């Protein structure tokens, strides 16, 4: 009796130990949970932006100048023509908005630049040998006899502003190749000193200046690409035509009284690089 009782107690204890071991093993088994979906940031060009730029420009002024007798209106010398190179550095900023349609991006951009584009040359009233003293200078004797009147001539594109639509195609999701064109306006300063002699052989001169605001047109192309975050970098080339500027400074104290008529047709080629900050984050997609 005692042997059977002991056997029953042992069997029960063994079963309890085995059950406890199985339960512990079940608690230690790895538990698997479903991973969250991956989050992918998709860059979009559909934003407002502002930026800064700098570069170099190669301006061109095709200029003609002619001296006249201001009293009679008679032309005193042949018209001189030539090209003045208005080259220099520029710096400025831009603001714009893009709209994206698949792989196409359209936008509108305005920019403003300060420039150091300037150049100059001189013009001379050629004095013929007849009548006596020449038609540019009526002095027949003394230090002023036969000395040709002159004027210095300087031009400076001081600033320009453009307003341009842009149309571009994505070569990659974060790189945009575009063409652009629209309106351009520039501030152009022309100045010089007109010099001659009075009837009593005294040197005389007058400083003259003309500031003009000229409207024209611009075309160009560029490449803009994402640098990281909300920043993009761009390189851009533009061609601008500002039309013409003209003026007629007068030296009334010379003998004869002189007038210098000029006309300049001004164009500009600009190469610049810049950075833009685009407002708003990238689109977040979950897969």
Following DSSP, what letter does each residue of the chain receive, concatenated? -HHHHHHHHHHHHHHHHHHHHHHHHHHHS----PPPPPEEEE----SEEEEEEEEEEEEEEEEEEEEEETTT--B-SPPEEEEEEEEEEEEEEEEEEEEEETTEEEEEEEEEEEEEEEEEEEEE----S-STT-SS----SSTTTTPPPEEEEEEEEEEEEEEEEEEEEEEETTEEEEEEEEEEEEEEEEEEEEEEE-TTS-EEEEEEEEEEEEEEEEEEEEEEEEEETTEEEEEEEEEEEEEEEEE--EETTSSS-EEEEEEEEEEEEEEEEEEEEESS-PEEEE-
Instruction: Name the pTM for this structure.
Output: 0.80
Provide the strand spans (E) within 30-143.
39-42, 48-69, 80-101, 104-124
Tell me how far apart the alpha carbons of residues 273 and 232 are, in angstroms, rounded to a whole number.
11
pLDDT in tens, 207-219: 999 999 999 999 9
Tell me how far apart the alpha carbons of residues 178 and 100 are, in angstroms, rounded to a whole number.
13
* Residue 18: count of CB within 10 angstroms of its CB: 10
Q: How confident is the model at residue 202 (pLDDT cuts 50, 70, 90)?
A: confident
pLDDT value at residue 17: 47
Tell me how far apart the alpha carbons of residues 66 and 97 are, in angstroms, rounded to a whole number.
48
Are 77 and 136 in contact by the 8 Å Cβ rule? The answer is yes
pLDDT in tens, 161-182: 999 999 999 999 999 999 999 9
Give the domains, in start order, of the chain with CATH numbers.
43-286 (2.40.160.20)
Are 277 and 230 in contact by the 8 Å Cβ rule? The answer is yes
pLDDT in tens, 107-161: 999 999 999 999 999 999 987 665 545 678 776 666 667 788 999 999 999 999 9
Position 14 pLDDT exceeds 50: no
Cis peptide before 13 (omega within 30 of 0): no
């Amino acid at each position: 009796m005692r042997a059977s009782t002991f056997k029953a107690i042992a069997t029960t204890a063994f079963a309890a130990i085995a059950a406890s071991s199985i339960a512990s093993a079940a608690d230690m088994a790895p538990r698997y949970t479903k991973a969250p979906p991956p989050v992918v940031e998709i860059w979009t060009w559909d934003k407002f932006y502002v930026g800064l730029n700098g570069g170099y420009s190669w301006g061109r002024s095709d200029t003609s100048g002619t001296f006249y007798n201001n009293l009679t209106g008679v032309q005193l010398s042949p018209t001189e023509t030539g090209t003045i190179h208005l080259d220099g550095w520029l710096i400025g900023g831009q603001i714009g908005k893009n709209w994206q349609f698949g792989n196409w991006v359209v936008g509108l951009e305005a920019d403003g630049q300060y420039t150091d584009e300037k150049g100059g040359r001189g013009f001379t009233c050629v004095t013929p040998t007849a009548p006596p003293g020449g038609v540019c200078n009526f002095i027949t004797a003394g230090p002023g006899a036969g000395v040709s009147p002159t004027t210095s001539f300087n031009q400076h594109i001081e600033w320009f502003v453009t307003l341009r639509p842009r149309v571009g195609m994505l070569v990659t999701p974060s790189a945009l190749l575009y063409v652009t064109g629209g309106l351009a306006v520039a501030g152009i300063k022309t100045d010089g000193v007109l010099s001659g002699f009075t009837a009593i052989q005294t040197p005389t001169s007058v400083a003259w200046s003309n500031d003009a605001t000229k409207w024209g047109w611009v075309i160009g192309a560029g490449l803009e690409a994402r640098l990281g975050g909300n920043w993009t970098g761009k390189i851009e080339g533009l061609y601008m035509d500002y039309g013409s500027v003209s003026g007629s400074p007068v030296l009334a104290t010379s003998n004869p009284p002189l007038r210098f008529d000029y006309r300049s047709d001004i164009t500009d080629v600009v190469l610049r690089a810049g950075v833009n900050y685009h407002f708003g984050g990238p689109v977040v997609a979950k897969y």
